[in-house]
Amino acid sequence: MQFQAGTENEQLLSRIENSIEEGRVSHAYIIEGPEHMDKPAFARAFAKGILCPQRRGDHCGSCAVCDKIDHDNHEDLICLQRLKTRQSLGIEQIKQMQAQISIKPNGPRYIVIIEESDRMTEEAQNCLLKTLEEPPGDAVLMLLSENSEQLLATIRSRCIKYRLEGSREVREEEISRRANEVLRGLLDGSPFYRIRKTLGEVGRDRQEAIRLIDGMQERCRELILSRDGNGVPYSAEEIGNCVYALEDARRQLTQGMTPAYVLKRFILSVGG
C-alpha cells in the first residue's frame, strides 16, 4: 500500500495489503496514531487499496478511482469531519452518513472515513453502533483516532484496530512537548480532565512514560535555575513538589506499576 508512513509501519502496511488481496476486508477499522501522523491520508490510501480496479491492495494511483479519491470527489467515499464551530462530532452527521449508505453505492461498496472519531459525542457513538452491528452491504467504516480509549468499549469490540507509529525522532519531540504542557498545566492548577487530555496517548508504554518524566524533571530544573529575575510565576515550593512527585512516579514505574495508573496518580498528587 503506497503511503509515506516510515519503516515503523512497513509490517502493518504489508498485512493490510495481504488482507485486501485475499478478500479479507472487515466492515470496520479503528486507525489510531499520534497527532502528527496524517491519518486521513492513510485512510485514503487504504480506501484506494480496496476500491482500485487495477491493483488491489497496493493501488495503481493513476486510474479514475484513485484520481477521484485523491481529489475528494469519489461518489462512494464519505468523509466525516468535526465542524469547526463544535468541540465534538455530533449525531446529526452520523445520521446523515447512515442515510447515505442505505442507498446502493455506485461501485462495489462505500468507504466511510470518520476523522477525530474519539471526539464523537456519546450520543453519536451510540447511534454509530447500529451501523457497526448491522453494516449495509459491503460498507467499510474507518474510525480515525488519537486515543481510541475515548471510544465506547462496544464500538472498540466491533472494529479491527490498526496502530500507526510515528518515527522515533518525531516521537521524542512529541513527548518533550507534552511533558512541558502537562507540567505547565499542573503548576497553573488546571483540572485533571484537561491535563489528561493534554497527555493524550503519550506515556502508555513504560519506557515512554519514563521519558515523559525525564522531560518534566528537566523542565523543573530549568524553572528553578531561571526563577531569579526572570519572572517565573511559580514558587520554589510548587516546583519542588512536582520534583518529589516525579521521583515517586519513577519509583512506582520501576516497581512494575502500570504507566497509566502511575501517571494518573502523579497528576492527582500534584493537584490536577
Instruction: Give the pLDDT confidence of 93-120 residue by residue, as tens digits.
Output: 999 999 999 999 999 999 999 999 998 9
Q: Which of 36-40, 59-63, 222-226, 236-240 has the highest mean pLDDT?
A: 236-240
Model confidence at 168, in pLDDT bands (50, 70, 90)? low
Handedness of CA 205, 207, 208, 210 (dihedral sign): positive
Strand partners, 141: 28, 112
Give the Å distances, CA to CA, from 191 to 35, 172, 185, 267, 268. 22, 26, 8, 9, 9
pTM summary value: 0.64
Of the candidates 164, 215, 133, 158, the one whose C-alpha atom is nearest the C-alpha of residue 33 is 164
Planar angle of CA 255, 257, 261, nearest 5 degrees: 145
The CATH H-level (homologous superfamily) assignment of domain 7-163 is P-loop containing nucleotide triphosphate hydrolases (3.40.50.300)
Q: What is the pLDDT of residue 147?
A: 83
Residue 112, CB-side half-sphere exposure with 13 Å CA sphere: 30
Q: What pLDDT is attached to residue 245? A: 93
189: which DSSP letter?
A: T
How is residue 231 written as a grid cell?
519572572
Say yes or no to pLDDT of 5 above 60: no
Is residue 234 pLDDT above 70, yes or no? Answer: yes
Beta strands in 98-218 (DSSP E): 111-114, 140-145, 160-163
For the record, the C-alpha cell of 22 comes out as: 485475499
Contact 215, 176 (CB under 8 A): yes
27 has pLDDT over 70: yes
Q: Read off φ and ψ for residue 60, nearest 5 degrees.
A: -80, -30
Q: Which residue has the higher pLDDT, 110 or 54?
A: 110
76 in Cβ contact with 106 (< 8 Å) = yes
What is the model's pLDDT at position 112? 96
Helix 259-270 and helix 206-225, axial crossing angle in degrees, nearest 10 = 30
Give the per-residue pLDDT at 272: 55
Instruction: For residue range 173-232, list pLDDT tens digits in order.
Output: 778 888 889 998 998 888 888 888 777 766 677 888 888 999 999 989 888 887 655 667
Min mean pLDDT across 70-74, 90-94, 126-130, 201-205 is at 201-205
**Residue 16: predicted pLDDT:** 87
Side-chain half-sphere CA neighbours of 254 within 13 A: 8
Note the pLDDT of residue 100: 93
Q: What is the sign, positive or negative, of the torsion defined by CA atoms of 34, 40, 43, 44?
A: negative
What is the rounded average pLDDT for all residues in the chain?
85
Is 180 or 170 the better-scoring residue by pLDDT?
180
Closest by CA to 219, choosing from 267, 262, 179, is 179
Task: Indicate whether 78 pLDDT > 70.
Answer: yes
In whole angstroms, give the CA distance from residue 139 to residue 150. 24
